[in-house]
Amino acid sequence: MRSVITGTGIGVPPHVVTNEALSRIMDTSDEWIRVRSGIQERHYAAPGQGSTDLGALAARQAIADAGLLPGDVDAVIFATMTPDHVLPGNGPLLQVALGLGDIPTFDIRQQCSGFLYGLELADLFIQSGRYRRVLLVGAEVHTPFMPWHLGWDTVIGLEVREITEAERMENTASRDRTVLFGDGAGAVVIEGRDGAAGLGPIRLHTDGGGAGVLTMPGASFKRRPFVSHAQIEAGETLPVMSGKEVFRSAVTLMPQVVREVCALSGVPVEALDLVLVHQANLRIIEGVQKALGLPPEKVPHNVERWGNTTAATLPILFHECRQNGLVQPGMTLVFTALGSGLHWGAALYRT
């Protein structure tokens, strides 16, 4: 028996924010952002809309796409680093939103690698015989990170006003990170099926020695209180990263682990039909593609329209590739990601 993805879906927040829109509140431009990241626009959630809400939109699509009803799902895995609350996790909230009954839910937090870690867990659940149908959701709402408390309406076009010089300076200070992120959700239904199609092998890695490369020092339970105005004003509730080190790790470790799963499966890298790379930054995606020696058409991307949606990038990309016909039966593809932790990995999948 193999673990097969039988349904996919996405949850799209309402506001499309272009690079030009961001230039209204900080010193940046469409060219500045595109050159560094390839990103042209991203979606922002509405106030009061959380990652559970977006996850529910994606999950309903995925369940319907699989030809199932919510009551057919045996377990839920919810991957997010931006839950609605510190507690409870998003899993129980999604369970209620979808009317799933009292099935078990699992919340995981592996940041950009969350979807891959969720695939591993779902596969283990199914192969063990414990659950037959697993709903895996990756969803993020990054907008609350953003230090634009007085500029939201201007960014999303609800209000046009002059940003003060102090506001512009504050917003510009974090532009190297804030312009990268978007909000969104992707979901897949995974079922046990007989046949050649399915997941595996999967390989995951963690190097805690790289934890400081991409971190968020504020909102820590080592502090009293765990979050404060001083932390917010110091930018400690924003992701802090060493961009060069993240890039170096990504374009080295993702190709390595792709080769690892290919070697385990006996599939040459050049024989892969597609490699779906975590959509963090177009320059990283291009670096992985070149390191693997693959033509650009085998490494699709949509980061231009979505930005980095962390745990949601891979399921969103896979859904879109299915919808536009890029994924066809009989293909061999690999998912790969790297994120804060450092966590990284790859999963080979036969359609």
* Catalytic machinery residues: 112, 278, 308
Altogether, the residues listed in the chain come to a count of 351
Question: Do the Cβ atoms of 278 and 316 come closer than 8 Å?
Answer: no
Six token digits for residue 21: 């829109």
Six token digits for residue 326: 């890029």
In this structure, what DSSP letter does residue 209 have?
G
Taking every pair of C-alpha atoms in the chain, what is the biggest distance, in angstroms? 63
Interatomic CA distance for residues 74 and 118, integer angstroms = 15
Interatomic CA distance for residues 125 and 131, integer angstroms = 6
Question: Do the Cβ atoms of 8 and 187 come closer than 8 Å?
Answer: yes
Question: Do the Cβ atoms of 59 and 188 come closer than 8 Å?
Answer: no
Six token digits for residue 5: 């993805």
Sequence-separated (6 or more) residues with CB below 8 Å from residue 270: 293, 294
Amino acid at 1: M
Q: Residue 181: how many CA atoms within 13 Å on its side-chain side? A: 23
Instruction: List C-alpha distances in Å: 170 to 26, 165, 233.
Output: 8, 9, 9
Six token digits for residue 48: 């009061």
Instruction: List C-alpha distances in Å: 255 to 57, 113, 225, 278, 302.
Output: 32, 15, 41, 12, 19
Interatomic CA distance for residues 153 and 191, integer angstroms = 43
